[in-house]
Structure 1
Amino acid sequence: MLAVQVLGPITVRRNDVALALGPPGRKAVFALLALAHGKPVTRAELVDALWGDRPPASAANIIHTHVKHLRQLLEPTRGARSPSTTIPTVGDGYALDVPPDAVDAFRFRSLVARAASLASDKRREAADLLSRALASWHGRPLADVPLLAAHPGVVTLAGEHRAALARYAELMTAVGAARDVLPALVDHVAAHGLDEAVHALLIRAYTAAGQRDRAFDTYHGVRRRLMDELGVGPGPDLTAAYLDALEETPADGAAAPAEAPPAPSGVNQLPGDVFGFTGRQAELAELGRVLTSERTGVPIVVVCGTAGVGKTALALHWAHRVRSDFPDGQLYVDLNGYGSRSPMAAEDALGRLLDGLGVTGTDVPVDSDHRAARYRAELADRRVLVVLDNASAVDQVRSLLPGASSCLVLVTSRSSLAGLVALHGAHRLDVDQLPEPDSLALLHALIGERVRREPEAAAELVACCGRLPLALRIVAELASSRPASTLAELTGELADRRHRLRVLDTGDDARAAVRTVFSWSYEQLPPEVARAFRRLGLHPGPDVTPFALAALTGTDPDQARRSLEVLARNSLVRRVPGGRFAVHDLLLAYAEELAGEHDPAPERSAAVERLLADHLATASAAMDLLYPVDRPHRSDVTATPSPAFTTADAARAWLDAERSTLVALCRAAERDDRPGHVVDLANTLYRYLESGHYADASTIYGCALRAARRAGEDALLAVALTNLGALRRILGDYDQAAGHLREAIRLHRRTGERRGLPRALSNLGIVQERLGEYEEAVSLQQEALDAHRRAGNRHGEAAALLNLGNAYSRPGHHHRAAEHLERALDLFRRLGDAGGQASALANLGDVCATLRRYPDAVRHLSRARELFQHIDHRYGVAVTLSNLGNVHIRLGDWAQAHRCLTAAIRAFRDIGHRYGEASALNGLGEALRAAGRSDAALAAHTDALRIATETGDQDEQDRARTALGGTRRQA
């Protein structure tokens, strides 16, 4: 008697003796017959399953041979000429004639059907039947037959298993036996690490069993995996299960914590606590009352006061004291509201805060409203302290406010920010100069017993410093460096200097005190360190490295590092993570003023020129490691990179760390009328920026365009327009992209520049393809391909072949599209370009799906996703998710299609890629319609049509309109 197992590795037993089926093709033929449950499988169906649309000429003979060997194996006593009774020939195909219950898949389906037929009051009996059904599974269906991994029959079985498991979990929970279903759910989760639906079931089962800690651990574990591997957050079902776990009262007798907050994320962006913090007991007590008071809405505290009064020190000291009250993290951003540079824009601040929450790269939305929404969503279920330092206006803060009352926002500002108090119910805490006793205590903590030995001199020293902590700390450093001097001598020098110096603002005694102390401390510096301090005033970024200071001073990094150490010891700079140094905005303004007074304009200009050249050279070196094939597109640089890189990881880390500085340098170069530097930096960084840093790309490209137009240099303008056009194309703004790119092409042709022209042509070709102008798209891509070949640019040739393949990806031309994409893939492989391979595979997978070559489609798309994940290309991951969703639609696996497409939609929305969002929404609508959910399908297609109409995307408009017509008729 035969027993057939397909619910796991395929196994055939006769009288409990395992039979060896033979090679993979033979296993596949037998598996297809077993899945048919006795119905005949035609030869054409067997050929399509094994080879797709590219069968060998001998396909029929190969199948016949497989069947012959299977008959001999299953019926060893049958004569050579006797007809087979186990695998009879039926028409032009074959069938497997065995008792239905000999195949485990039939038994599984029979048990599930019996469970479904039971009345609603027979939940325990139904659960028992499902338990028996699930026990027949031994892994993924046909796990050892990879040829059939994407076959509709296999995919359908997997979906039935998930549905049966879900129903079993619901029934067991309903009858109070949630604990008994946990092993089955845990096993399934272990095998399907990204299956949100089953994770949601496991969370609900843990909650019902009174194991909420494990429910939380499960949620946070899958949430991290979704972000790390797919670049998306939890879907609605998973989120709902988590919220239910938060609200659920623990079961009787279940051990549960006193409260069940989410697992701590561990994020802590706070700078270090202030050494020697003294006083402010009343202010700390008031902050504590705000923390413990009953409030509605988001608690907000505005700590306001004059410059140098210690607002930041107070905020940070208190933040460190209450860290344990905010287990999900502490966020910090310096808004630079009163520095000599421009205040930080709210959208840039949101980028910094999202980075602290683990949302980086392409996950950060470009649109500021979407960015704020993502920020609020990330904080929705967390208890987080948000410190917004140095805010200058309410508008700078408003979009940085969380939506969750579980968070607390601490803002420091020289302004009272009355709008936050009036409109958002903020609590204002006014911080005045330190009382004299606290000032003396701070001085004592910093310089010791000298304060007690000379109480009158110490009190006068405090008065000379305006009782401002910043000034007192600098004076204390000076006193420590002159142990032989009495405090009276130091006080006399300081008082005399104050009378002789002009002040920054004669109406502000505190500011005058700070200016006096600064000047006194500055003049104690060695000449080379004093020069280094002045050069800091020329740096436009948020912080400085020894390499940057070396460029500004014309020295080597070791000398620059020694200067920074001296400045740090004198409290004129402070160390921040990453071997970097930051400067208080008052000190930065003072350094800039000193540079203007003591350094001739040509020297200042040469220092900035060296800084720009150094960053351009280092950025070029980093890009050479990360994107070596683009080296011909980058400008020649003469400066030596600092630092030098030995690995691609180090190069990317430098770009990530310096991105804010690079943006600031571009802004400064535009302001100082240095168009060549701006365009060179933009053109050097474009591949890195367009991998997901769209907001920074928009800023840099905008600077380059304005600088090039003002300079009136066609060559620079053509490059700037090409970059900006490519970015607008990525963001789905096709009209503006086409305008920029057509102007760029005209200028490239006028100047005879051969490297930038094909890139502009290719990008315009992509735009025209999106707009439905296919013939022009093909013409532009062919012209780009010819240009790359004439220039001997093999990478450009591969990229043009890929784009040409995409231009042909339309009805009647898919075979031609596949040919170009396969040629592109082969060339990218020979060039060793992983990103190019991933793009070619993703597009080839989509074409294969259109040609009904589903195994090829799944294979190409899966490999593309692996490559995109390896190179941290979140947009690429989103595209492959969308395309895989479309393949699952064609395979009839609506659940898997829904999961892939909803994940893709979230990812596209997060990165601001509107074409991708419209395409994935159309795919989701198709999956929902096929699953019989017409109303939901109508909503998805309507959203897709709206986006495609706004962007001008003709393909997705047509797709949405066609689907909407069909969906309405179906409804």
Structure 2
Amino acid sequence: MPDNGRDGTRNEVSGSAANVVQGRDIGTVNIGVAPPPSAVPRQVPPPPRGFVDRQGPLARIGDLVDAVVAGQDRPGVVALRGMPGVGKSAFVRTVAARFGDRFVDGSLHVDFGPLRHRGGVAVGEVAGTMLRSLGVADQWIPPDLVGRADLCRTMTAEMNLLVVFDGVTQDAQVLPLLPASGRSLVVAASHLALPELIQDGAVEMKLAALDPTDAVALLSEMCPDGRIAAEPDHAAELAQLCGHLPLALRVAGGWLSTRPTWTVQRLLEEFDDTDPFDGLTGGAAINTMFDLAYDDLTDVGKQVYRMAGLLVGSHLHLEVVAALCDLPVKQVRRALDHLSQASLIEERPDRTYELHRLVQAHALRRSLEEDTEGDRTAALRRALRWWLARAVAADVAATGTQRLRVTDPAQLIGDVPVPAMSAKQALDWLENEHANLLGLMRACAEHGWHEPVWQLFEGLYAYYDNRQPLAAWSEAGELAVTAAHLSGNAAAEARARCQMARALQKRDEYAAAHRQLDVARTLAAELDDDERMFASTLDFTGNVHFAQGQYEQALDCFRRALTINEKLGRPRGIALQSWLAGRTLVELGRIDEALSLLASARRFIEHSDGRSLLPRIELTTAAALHAAGRTDEAEDAARSSLEQARELKLTAGEADACVLLARMARDRGDSAAEQQLLHRAEQAYATMGSPRAARIHARRQAGQ
């Protein structure tokens, strides 16, 4: 077995996704296109059809909203508890719909249900998603949970914000993410008690099953043609058999609405109590209700329902379900519409679908009863092919075609239709699908399908390196390294170890990163005619040394990688390694050598697809010239960097160039120019949601 390279643990909550199947200096800034100013987030989905009652809890929420909007010392927090199927999600969505407009800074929504895996959730990843929703650009999001939680509190300190956490199972999922403002309200919904949250001042609310009158009213909302009112006694009995639980009542009412000739009494005659449903109150009746709704589906509808039950994730794409079923998309869309009408599946505003966990459990049970293991395996392989093709296409859209990859992307995409995407759209897609993709990696590993595990990891690398969900990145890396080793693919194993080492570097686990890279270099050195892979292992190794401040070792790695790229005649690789080596020489104070390499990098980048490197090269050149006392030349290089960054719309590059130019203006005693440049830098950082904007503002106010 391979060495997974872990030499310790971090104070993080690990695991980050759903199951599928049960720099140091100005020259190292990661420059990227800043997003446009974001709209006020309104993330909580709309409430479902036919929401009834809950007037008491809603009135208590209303009182809390009045208090937090008026302002208080700390945020308002509600710990909402209720059994599965009792309507917690519908309640919190109704809260947002009713009171959301009183929170001028918007509403955030996190559903922990799809993120659970083996008892843990990557809270740091959730914090990163929240920060992006608040307008913080990727390059300013700290890599660890502590840093992200601190930044969340900083960003929310003055906000009037509603935050909804659904599917909570641990206090630790919520406590680090509480906003700092006393004008914000948090609602955390769970089927468990949350004692630490309550001890910290949260108001506990218990959501019980509906009372009999409201349960019948919900049946009437779902079947509004008068039959419920015409049979009040039978309707009350039906509501009781459903445990007065909104989920089961919706299914019962929805089922009746699609069978207009049935009476409520006839439906009751279909019930029996021979099949308990996980000990849930009213479980036998609920399970029978799901069976009745299932039996009423067409053959295609039944197949779609069973296949959807194989996947436990945050959402389902129409195309994935079609791939699972091996059916045309139009036919599957019609079946999903019927499932939605029967309240067995919910269509989301983004045109994806989700199943309540109780419904998913029922669908999986029917698949286990009716489909063979071979049927389920073939279905999962078809879904895997779709997800892998889309992930690889997104990776190419995000990073281009020239990046080193073990498998040709065209081979993996094949004839799967993939949309055109910008780099940002591609990264957003990978983030939205990350829960499903990581869950798919786990499922493939459990099935012994080794090759797609490391292929999915390679497809996710652009997302991991840009948005850095470190706990998930590390878990995925371990899966990929093991899978590549077991598949006997030395190139894939070397690549997976390099990419996992990057995650370990970001966690400051340098010894573990070096262990991964030691094995990667050995594997790469043994590959026939693949010097590019060996050069890549040197690149990753050099970056770990640089992060440790071991500049001589880093320089040796970058120079060796440069020699290989020169031999292979790869302009982008030559430019990149020349810049990395030049940046390192600046740290070593060897300015003349640095300037020579940076000039070489500039020449070679003009003959490659790496124009985004130019501002970094120029900025590092400016810093080197400034350190050498060549003031005029340094200012020219910094202004060149600024112009190039502006041309490429690299907002971070513009901001960094303005900061260096402001330092130069201060050195020559031009305070007016310094203030003007700092103001431009502050505006640019603010556009990206960077905390550096506040520091620049304080510096300007102090007149430093």
Q: TM-score range by the shorter chain?
A: 0.7 to 0.9
1:681 aligns with 2:456: yes
Please show how residues 437-516 of structure 1 align to structure 2 within 5 Å. Answer: 437-448=213-224, 449-493=226-270, 495=271, 498-500=272-274, 502-505=275-278, 507-516=279-288
Deviations 1:687-735 (A, max 9, x none): 4432343535444334323544666754433212211223444666544
Aligned to 2:622: 845
Q: Give yes or no for contact 1:420–1:426 (8 Å, CA) kept in 2.
A: yes
Q: Give yes or no for contact 1:273–1:320 (8 Å, CA) kept in 2.
A: yes
Aligned to 1:272: 46
Aligned to 1:428: 204
> How many Å apart are 1:646 and its aligned residue?
3.1
Aligned to 2:341: 569
Aligned to 1:819: 596
SS at match of 1:399: helix
Structure 2 counterpart of 1:484, one-letter code: T
Of 430, 436, 447 in structure 2, the residue corresponding to residue 655 of structure 1 is: 430
Q: Give yes or no for contact 1:888–1:896 (8 Å, CA) kept in 2.
A: no
Aligned to 2:26: none
Aligned to 1:92: none
Aligned equivalents of 2:455, 2:633: Cα separation in 1: 42
> How many Å apart are 1:849 and its aligned residue?
2.7
Structure 1 counterpart of 2:170, one-letter code: A
Q: Give yes or no for contact 1:329–1:384 (8 Å, CA) kept in 2.
A: yes
Change (3 A) 1:592 1:892: farther
Aligned to 2:27: none
Change (3 A) 1:551 1:847: farther
Single out whichever of 808-817 and 540-549 deviates more from structure 2. Answer: 808-817
> How many Å apart are 1:903 and its aligned residue?
6.6
Aligned to 1:66: none
Deviations 1:667-700 (A, max 9, x none): 4444444443232222233244323435354443
Q: Give yes or no for contact 1:303–1:428 (8 Å, CA) kept in 2.
A: yes
Structure 2 counterpart of 1:591, one-letter code: A
SS at match of 2:606: helix
Please show how residues 346-357 of structure 1 align to structure 2 within 5 Å. Answer: 346-357=123-134
- Which structure 2 residue ranges, 5 or more long, are not aligned? 1-30
Please show how residues 1-80 of structure 1 align to structure 2 within 5 Å. Answer: none
SS at match of 2:205: strand
Q: Give yes or no for contact 2:212–2:239 (8 Å, CA) kept in 1.
A: yes
Change (3 A) 1:779 1:288: closer
Please show how residues 582-621 of structure 1 align to structure 2 within 5 Å. Answer: 582-621=354-393
Of 191, 199, 205 in structure 2, the residue corresponding to residue 414 of structure 1 is: 191
Aligned equivalents of 1:902, 1:648: Cα separation in 2: 26
Aligned equivalents of 1:268, 1:387: Cα separation in 2: 11
Q: Give yes or no for contact 1:304–1:416 (8 Å, CA) kept in 2.
A: yes
> How many Å apart are 1:569 and its aligned residue?
1.8
Change (3 A) 1:780 1:429: closer
Of 665, 668, 679 in structure 1, the residue corresponding to residue 440 of structure 2 is: 665
Q: Give yes or no for contact 2:248–2:289 (8 Å, CA) kept in 1.
A: yes
Report how many aligned residue pairs link the two structures: 659
Percent identity for Structure 1 against Structure 2: 27
> How many Å apart are 1:434 and its aligned residue?
1.0
Single out whichever of 345-354 and 332-341 deviates more from structure 2. Answer: 332-341
Deviations 1:378-410 (A, max 9, x none): 211111111111111212221122222211111
Structure 1 counterpart of 2:598, one-letter code: L
Aligned equivalents of 1:273, 1:499: Cα separation in 2: 32
Structure 2 counterpart of 1:503, one-letter code: P
Change (3 A) 1:305 1:866: farther
Deviations 1:844-889 (A, max 9, x none): 2323333444455445445545666787878766765665465445
> How many Å apart are 1:631 and its aligned residue?
4.9
Of 420, 429, 443 in structure 2, the residue corresponding to residue 646 of structure 1 is: 420
Aligned to 1:312: 89
> How many Å apart are 1:622 and its aligned residue?
2.7
Q: Give yes or no for contact 1:547–1:642 (8 Å, CA) kept in 2.
A: no
Aligned to 1:744: 520
SS at match of 1:317: helix
Change (3 A) 1:387 1:865: farther
Aligned to 2:8: none
- Which structure 1 residue ranges, 5 or more long, are not aligned? 1-226, 234-263, 934-971
Aligned equivalents of 1:568, 1:341: Cα separation in 2: 30
Change (3 A) 1:340 1:780: closer
Structure 2 counterpart of 1:605, one-letter code: T
Change (3 A) 1:619 1:318: closer
Aligned to 2:502: 726
Q: Give yes or no for contact 1:340–1:589 (8 Å, CA) kept in 2.
A: no
Structure 1 counterpart of 2:260, one-letter code: P
Aligned equivalents of 2:231, 2:177: Cα separation in 1: 48
Aligned equivalents of 1:619, 1:476: Cα separation in 2: 40
Aligned to 1:291: 65
Aligned equivalents of 1:307, 1:341: Cα separation in 2: 19
Change (3 A) 1:416 1:870: farther
Aligned to 1:382: 159
Structure 1 counterpart of 2:258, one-letter code: S
> How many Å apart are 1:553 and its aligned residue?
2.3
Deviations 1:281-329 (A, max 9, x none): 2222233334346975332212211111112212221221112322221
Structure 1 counterpart of 2:138, one-letter code: G
Aligned to 2:175: 398
> How many Å apart are 1:794 and its aligned residue?
3.3
Aligned equivalents of 1:619, 1:349: Cα separation in 2: 21
Q: Give yes or no for contact 1:621–1:641 (8 Å, CA) kept in 2.
A: no
Change (3 A) 1:890 1:401: same
Structure 2 counterpart of 1:403, one-letter code: A
Aligned equivalents of 1:845, 1:629: Cα separation in 2: 30
Q: Which has the larger radius of gyration?
A: 1
Q: Give yes or no for contact 1:766–1:807 (8 Å, CA) kept in 2.
A: no
Structure 2 counterpart of 1:407, one-letter code: S
Aligned equivalents of 1:314, 1:522: Cα separation in 2: 26
Aligned equivalents of 1:731, 1:842: Cα separation in 2: 27
Structure 2 counterpart of 1:686, one-letter code: Y
Change (3 A) 1:824 1:560: farther
Aligned to 2:323: 551
SS at match of 1:744: helix
Aligned equivalents of 2:669, 2:91: Cα separation in 1: 61
Aligned to 2:6: none
Of 382, 389, 394 in structure 2, the residue corresponding to residue 622 of structure 1 is: 394
Aligned to 1:786: 563
Single out whichever of 635-644 and 885-894 deviates more from structure 2. Answer: 885-894
Aligned equivalents of 1:602, 1:879: Cα separation in 2: 57
Which one has more relative contact order, counting CA pairs under 8 Å at least 6 apart? 2
Deviations 1:204-245 (A, max 9, x none): xxxxxxxxxxxxxxxxxxxxxxx9998999xxxxxxxxxxxx
Deviations 1:476-512 (A, max 9, x none): 221111112222212212x1xx334x2232x433333
Q: Give yes or no for contact 2:86–2:209 (8 Å, CA) kept in 1.
A: yes
> How many Å apart are 1:360 and its aligned residue?
4.2
TM-score when normalising by structure 2:
0.83
Aligned to 1:836: 613
Structure 2 counterpart of 1:627, one-letter code: T
Q: Give yes or no for contact 2:451–2:487 (8 Å, CA) kept in 1.
A: no
Q: Give yes or no for contact 1:270–1:330 (8 Å, CA) kept in 2.
A: yes
TM-score when normalising by structure 1:
0.61
